[in-house]
């Protein structure tokens, strides 16, 4: 049963006939019921299903992180959530199709953090025993230390780890400890970005590389 909230001019919530209505980010969304299909899928549709599968597999451990990293994009996409935006980013910008028409995700193109703040420059990393040593060009024009470093680690098979606003950008270096550094599996991907802790503005992430 559908409910008409706030009178005849208010949003609808629930099911009426073959239509479903719900609220998402303050927007009233109405969708029809999916039709039952009787024809077999085309090659393009099968490929699309494979792309969806590898996309969701890649993002499996990243969904909590992109909820934070994509938060500032939501105001421009009121009918989407962070997971939708991350899935769209992977599908449009990070998918590779091999000679056998098999899709895979290119982690070096993925951005777990999105925003318009300036990027870390000349960023590098080095594994020192059980610590990851990260360096970048110090950002000096920040006397209040509002701008800080964010780090994301991703092992697609085992998990992801994020450290938010951990050190001022003017420091230019940070030593990170994480359990994922000893569980690198088929590769541990490292991303960094900046965050203004006053305005909550984020930069796009920068890919530092893969630790084998």
On the question of pLDDT at 201 being above 90, the answer is yes
Sign of the torsion formed by the C-alpha atoms of 129, 175, 123 and 63: positive
pLDDT over 70, % of the chain: 92
Mean pLDDT of 163-190: 95
pLDDT digits (tens, 9 = 90+) for 126-145: 999 899 999 999 998 888 89
User: Could you tell me the domains of the chain?
Assistant: 9-38 (no CATH), 43-211 (2.60.40.10)
> Where on the phi/psi map is residue 189: left (φ > 0), alpha (ψ -120 to 50), or beta?
beta
- Residue 4, pLDDT above cutoff 60: no
When mean pLDDT is compared across 27-31, 127-131, 151-155, the lowest value belongs to 27-31
Can you tell me the distance from the alpha carbon of 177 to that of 65, in angstroms, rounded to the nearest whole number?
18
Instruction: Report pTM.
Output: 0.82
- CA distances (Å), origin 9, targets 22, 25, 40, 74: 15, 18, 43, 25
Residue 211 pLDDT > 60: yes
pLDDT at 3: 58
Residue 153: band (very low, low, confident or very high) from pLDDT cuts 50, 70, 90: very high
Which residues 6+ apart lie within 8 Å of 159 measured at CB?
Answer: 61, 180, 183
Q: What is the mean pLDDT of residues 196-212?
A: 96
The Cα 187–Cα 18 span in angstroms is 47
Confidence grade of residue 8 (pLDDT, cut at 50, 70, 90) = low
pLDDT grade for 74, boundaries at 50, 70 and 90: very high
Instruction: Tell me the mean pLDDT in the region 140-159.
Output: 93
Confidence at residue 85, expressed as pLDDT on a 0 to 100 scale? 97
With a cut of 80, say whether residue 15 has pLDDT above it. Answer: no
What average pLDDT score do residues 153-169 get? 96
How does DSSP classify residue 117?
Answer: B
């Amino acid at each position: 049963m559908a409910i008409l909230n706030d009178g005849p001019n208010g949003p609808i919530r629930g099911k009426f006939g073959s239509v479903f209505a719900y609220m998402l980010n303050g927007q009233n969304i109405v969708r029809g019921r999916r039709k039952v299909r009787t024809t077999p899928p085309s090659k393009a549709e099968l490929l699309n299903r494979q792309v969806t599968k590898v996309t969701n597999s890649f993002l499996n451990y990243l969904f909590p992180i992109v909820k934070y990293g994509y938060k500032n994009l939501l105001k421009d996409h009121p009918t989407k959530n962070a997971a939708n935006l991350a899935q769209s980013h992977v599908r449009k910008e990070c998918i590779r199709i091999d000679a056998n028409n098999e899709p895979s995700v290119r982690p070096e193109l993925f951005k777990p953090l999105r925003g318009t703040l300036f990027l870390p420059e000349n960023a590098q990393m080095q594994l020192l025993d059980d610590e990851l040593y990260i360096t970048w060009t110090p950002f000096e024009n920040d006397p209040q230390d509002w701008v800080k470093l964010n780090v994301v680690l991703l092992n697609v098979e085992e998990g992801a780890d994020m450290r938010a606003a951990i050190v001022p950008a003017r420091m230019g270096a940070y030593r990170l400890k994480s359990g994922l550094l000893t569980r690198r599996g088929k590769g541990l991907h490292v991303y960094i970005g900046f965050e203004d802790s006053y305005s909550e503005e984020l930069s796009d992430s920068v890919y530092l590389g893969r630790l084998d």
